[in-house]
Amino acid sequence: MSTLEIRDLHVSIGDTEILKGVNLTINAGEKHALMGPNGTGKSTLSYVVAGHPDYEVTGGDILLDGESILEMDADERSRAGIFLAFQYPVAIPGVSVANFLRTALNSRMRAEDPESKGMPIPQFRRLLKAKMDLLKMDHKFAGRYLNDGFSGGEKKRAEILQMATLEPKMAFLDETDSGLDIDALRIVSEGVNTLMGDDLGVLVITHYQRILNYIQPDFVHIMLDGKIVESGGPELAEHLEEHGYELIREKHLA
Ligand code: ADP
Ligand code: MG
């Protein structure tokens, strides 16, 4: 069983400190929701855990099963079982969802074993079909060109399928760039509920306050101004739904 532990994490971009001491522990088998208004550092946290090179960790640590991952690059972290869906800002002409997933899977196999020839196509097709059936996805989706006119929901569908294929230990699922997209949130929560098990820990990131209508998290965390200021159970999301962020903001930023 895996554990991801984020300890007093401080992160800067250039001269600006964005994360100001984040503490968060996720165990396999747990579903966490990270909530907070726009611009508070939620996406930054997921990029930093995944190993995005633009962010500088100036303090604290990130441990996977007790070992620091700070010195690992993004590829190594992915191989170690940390998943953050690749963000493709533009469509990639001529690359289907299936091709993309097969490339991702094969590059991981080659990283583990330079002699590996990757997964034979028929075997990959069977794997992909099984995963799509599990997620109740139309098989046609695998033939679509990646992000070519994808809606927020379709981007999330590709993300969930990628997660199902790579079978990570810890998955970070951030909201779509377009922000509030109910269809996307529904697809993510259904996918997570299907894939959830004792070997997977999940952090779902959203600023949408009525998240409980979609995801039943075990733990809810609220981020304000680069820090997690409250952690609790689903009742915390209920409180937010009722009162918004104002009360919490007054309490912590006074
Ligand atoms: P959230 O996901 O909670 O909306 P972000 O993590 O995207 O917040 O952003 C947190 C803060 O960091 C914001 O003030 C944002 O402007 C700033 N920020 C994020 N990425 C960059 C970047 N690449 N360069 C400079 N500032 C950034
Ligand atoms: Mg964000």
> pLDDT averaged over consecutive 10-residue blocks of the chain (254 residues)?
97 96 98 94 95 95 98 92 71 84 88 90 97 95 88 89 95 83 89 95 90 89 96 93 89 81
Q: What is the per-residue pLDDT for 1?
A: 86
What is the reported pTM?
A: 0.93
| Domains present along the chain, CATH in parentheses | 3-95+144-253 (3.40.50.300)
What is the spatial distance between Cα 122 and Cα 94, in angstroms, rounded to a whole number?
A: 21
User: Phi/psi class of residue 36: alpha, beta or left (left: φ > 0; alpha: ψ in -120 to 50)?
Assistant: left
* Cα-Cα-Cα-Cα dihedral sign, residues 79, 130, 199, 211: positive
pLDDT on residue 209: 81
pLDDT score recorded for residue 89: 45
Residues, Cβ < 5 Å to ion ligand 2: 42-43
- What's the pLDDT at 94? 83
Ligand 1 touching residue 176 (CB < 6 A): no
Cβ atoms of 81 and 166 closer than 8 Å: no
* Contact call for residues 128 and 101 (beta carbons, < 8 A): yes
- β-partners of residue 228 are 223
Q: Taking a C-beta distance cutoff of 8 angstroms, is the pair 200, 231 a contact?
A: no
Cα-Cα-Cα-Cα torsion 40, 42, 48, 53, nearest 10 degrees, comes to: -70
Pocket perturbation via mutation, ligand 1, pick of 44, 176, 209 by most ligand atoms within 8 A of CB: 44
> Could you give the 3-state DSSP secondary structure of residue 251?
helix
pLDDT at residue 213 in the model: 84
If you take atom 10 of ligand 1, which residue's CA is the nearest one? 41
Question: For residue 6, what pLDDT is reported?
Answer: 98
> What are the backbone angles phi and psi of residue 207, rounded to the nearest 5°?
-105, 5
